[in-house]
Amino acid sequence: MYKSAGNIVSRTGVLYPWPKQLLSACKDAKSISQIHALMIFTGVFSNGDSNGQLIASYARIGDVTSARRVFEESPQRGVVTWNAMIIAYSRNDSPNEVQNLYRRMILEGVRPDSSTFTVTLKACSSLLDLKAGEKIRSQAIDFGYKDDIFVGSSILNLYAKCGKMDEALGIFNGMTKRDLVSWTTMITGFAQSGQPVEAVEVFRRMQIEEIKGDAVLMVGLIQACTNLGDMKLGISVHGYMIRQHLPMDVVVETSLVDMYAKKGLLNLASRVFEKMSYRNVVSWSALMSGFAQNGFAGNALELLIEMQSYGFKPDLVSLVSALLACSQIGFLKLGKSIHGYIVRRVEFDRVSGTAVIDMYSKCGSLSSARILFDRISYRDSISWNAMIASYGIHGHGKEALSLFLQMKLMSQRPDHATFASLLSALSHSGLVEEGRYWFGIMHSDFGIQPSEKHFACMVDLLARAGLVEEAHKLIGSMEDEPGIAVWVALLAGCRNHGKLELGEKVAKKVFELKPNDPGIYALVSNVFALARKWDEVALVRKVMKETGMKKVPGYSVVEVRGKLHAFLMEDKSHPQHHMIAAMLDRLEYEMRAMGYVPRTEYVLHDLDEQVKERMLCNHSERLAIAFGLLNTGPGTRLLITKNLRVCRDCHEATKFISKIVDREIVVRDIKRFHHFKDGVCSCGDYW
DNA sequence: CAGTGAACGT
């Protein structure tokens, strides 16, 4: 047997094409096995390289089992054969098999080459197996691959994925050769380790050395901008790509969509999305989650439908975003069917399991949430946290606490989020003593250093209970510079307890911190309005407009006979508008007779008192309640979902309404459930 | 010869 001009001449003198070309044309296992037979016949099979080609061919069509069979049957295995099998497992997403084969290879005394190390290191990165990775790193150095650029980048990526950016940077700085991949690994590593400033810094270094980036690098840079929330920089990166004529592929464009969407710049995000020439499921769900996370549940759900009309099957991620949207508007019916879809068509993971729990609880079915929680086999701290938070928003602080204690008993370690859920549950139930106690020992007994989030919960807990001064003092005791969340909690307390002097100061502070949330601007402007600082109110409005943030309009949703009906504030578009208005007039007449006084201090504008009163009764939750009363039989429980906090005047009014019409009215706002019955609310007027 | 770096979620 010898090779001649790209052909094989067999022992019998027959001319065959060299199997490599033949193999690369094979589209199915059958044709590959025919060539396999040919190779055995011609004796080519004993050659290590051709074993490798055969293995690679099976791997290419996704048949790892056959690839493995060829591997095991090979009479002799050179490094090419080993690499082919290792690469097959790597492509097949089987990092454990990669590691196993590598170990076996070393034991059998085969000398690995640069590819072997590169691929095996990649497997360690995806397993976050730093220990094994470091061992392979030292072996790679022993075998003389210290300055190999492929091995080098793989090592950087190993440290980056394991969150060891200090190490990665040290190695990177000491590398004799760097290429675009190693630069990219550093930038992406920093961006994904929550160090976006360092990511941008690496890019600047690159620019000084006059190295041009590519699409993959830009994705890392865009992620850094997303994490920084710095849209000036983000837009400049976007512009840079256009000017430099850098290729825009679906991944780059999707990360741009994600960046704008996360910042609430949904018009920009949609524009980039619409201009994409090619989209996939990830692009659709990036935009969808952007809408959902910024409170535009309806738009998000429209996208879920639209993507399917374009032939894209929603994946778990888009379904989780859809569940979030359902939670926001109390769309139990759709949430249930998404739950069913996940069970039948996708299969749960931990995140989606938690999202379903969250959906049931926010749509009013606390018991369904609990049943699901008890049923899921793999309970991690996230599902515990979701269930604790569920009790919290339903105002069941005691149950939340007891679940927390149960979690401890089952030796599930509480984490940061557990304490955040617990403290917020205690806060909603006014369990101040318990809050102080657990906050006090979370560091000493659980080793969890209270973060800004916990301080914010604690400030909320105190300020909500009227202990605004104590909350203020707590902020003063913080070691780190208090962030926006903490001040916002205090500000809400100031507003709810009429501490306007302090409130004004805090409002200024919050305003200076440039929040990225229209709701926070609304609160700031609200406090200024209460303090009658109309100039400041106007200024806040102006800044909001300039940042281009889409303001979330207040709306309420009520479910009547399985259909959702949404009402905006002062919504006159509804076909039953006149009946609704008449119903509200009638109710108001009776309410006033019973002693109801409109609380106009919650209207923002500098307006006449009578106009303010008018505006209050046109709040979306009132329209939804009136519509619900008109369209359901006596005694039916009403469930209303509001996307913002229910205003205090509406809260007061709903108590009266529940008494007048003798109905149970459940209102869920962005924070919690209010259960109205017989003129009282389950929250005990606890703000 | 191939092998290294990339997007969406509770």
Q: Do residues A426 and A401 lie in contact, with contact meaning Cβ atoms separated by under 8 Å?
A: yes
Q: State phi, psi for A324 to the nearest 5 degrees.
A: -60, -45
User: Distance, angstroms, CA A335 to C1' B7?
Assistant: 26
Q: State phi, psi for A17 to the nearest 5 degrees.
A: -65, 145
User: Distance, angstroms, CA A177 to C1' B5?
Assistant: 15
Give A555's pLDDT tier (boundaries 50, 70, 90): confident
CB burial of residue A235 (10 Å; 0-12, 13-18, 19+): middle
Q: Do residues A304 and A324 lie in contact, with contact meaning Cβ atoms separated by under 8 Å?
A: no
Give A248's pLDDT tier (boundaries 50, 70, 90): very high
CA distance A120 to A163: 19
Other beta carbons within 10 angstroms of residue A195's beta carbon come to 17
First vs last Cα of chain A: how many Å apart? Answer: 88
Closest CA to A495 of A462, A531, A469: A531
Handedness of CA A69, A73, A74, A79 (dihedral sign): positive
Q: Do residues A604 and A537 lie in contact, with contact meaning Cβ atoms separated by under 8 Å?
A: yes
* Protein residue closest to B1, using CA and C1': A80
CB burial of residue A633 (10 Å; 0-12, 13-18, 19+): exposed
Q: Do residues A334 and A362 lie in contact, with contact meaning Cβ atoms separated by under 8 Å?
A: no
**pLDDT tens-digit series, residues A186-214:** 999 999 999 999 999 999 999 999 999 99
User: Distance, angstroms, CA A214 to C1' B7?
Assistant: 15
Which residues have C-beta within 8 Å of that of residue A423, sequence separation ≥ 6? A435, A438, A439, A454, A457, A458, A461
Higher pLDDT, A162 or A609: A162
CA distance A564 to A444: 48
Residue A544 has pLDDT above 90, yes or no: no
Other beta carbons within 10 angstroms of residue A8's beta carbon come to 20
Closest CA to A88 of A75, A97, A76, A77: A97
User: Distance, angstroms, CA A652 to C1' B5?
Assistant: 58
Handedness of CA A41, A46, A50, A52 (dihedral sign): positive
User: What is the helix (H) or strand (E) element at residue A556, kind and residue range?
Assistant: strand A555-560
Chain A span 228-247 residues with beta carbon within 7 Å of strand B: none
Instruction: Tell me which CATH code domain A450-551 carries.
Output: 1.25.40
pLDDT given for residue A13 in this prediction: 58
Give A43's pLDDT tier (boundaries 50, 70, 90): low
Closest CA to A261 of A232, A296, A305, A220: A296
pLDDT given for residue A60 in this prediction: 84
Strand B–CB A526 distance below 7 A: no
Tokens of A510: 């919050």
Q: Do residues A164 and A133 lie in contact, with contact meaning Cβ atoms separated by under 8 Å?
A: no
Chain A span 281-320 residues with beta carbon within 7 Å of strand B: 281-283, 285-286, 289, 293, 315-318, 320
Chain A span 59-118 residues with beta carbon within 7 Å of strand B: 80, 83, 87, 90-91, 113-115, 118
Residue A574 DSSP code: S
pLDDT given for residue A479 in this prediction: 85
Residues β-bridged to residue A642? A556
Tokens of A328: 């926001």
pLDDT given for residue A438 in this prediction: 94
Residues β-bridged to residue A558? A565, A640
Q: State phi, psi for A148 to the nearest 5 degrees.
A: -70, 130
Name the one residue in this structure whose structure tokens are 């072997």: A116
Quote the pTM value. 0.84
Nucleotide nearest residue A285, measured CA to C1': B8
Give A5's pLDDT tier (boundaries 50, 70, 90): very low
**pLDDT tens-digit series, residues A76-110:** 888 999 999 999 999 999 999 999 999 999 999 99
Residue A47 has pLDDT above 80, yes or no: no
User: Distance, angstroms, CA A283 to C1' B5?
Assistant: 20
Nucleotide nearest residue A185, measured CA to C1': B5
User: Distance, angstroms, CA A160 to C1' B6?
Assistant: 14
pLDDT given for residue A165 in this prediction: 97
Q: Do residues A59 and A91 lie in contact, with contact meaning Cβ atoms separated by under 8 Å?
A: yes
CA distance A85 to A341: 37
**pLDDT tens-digit series, residues A384-443:** 999 999 999 999 999 999 999 998 888 888 888 899 999 999 998 889 999 999 999 998
pLDDT given for residue A322 in this prediction: 98
Q: What are the boundaries of each domain within chain A?
A: 379-449, 450-551, 555-681
Three-class DSSP category at A620: helix
Give A288's pLDDT tier (boundaries 50, 70, 90): very high
Residue A379 has pLDDT above 90, yes or no: no
Strand B–CB A381 distance below 7 A: no
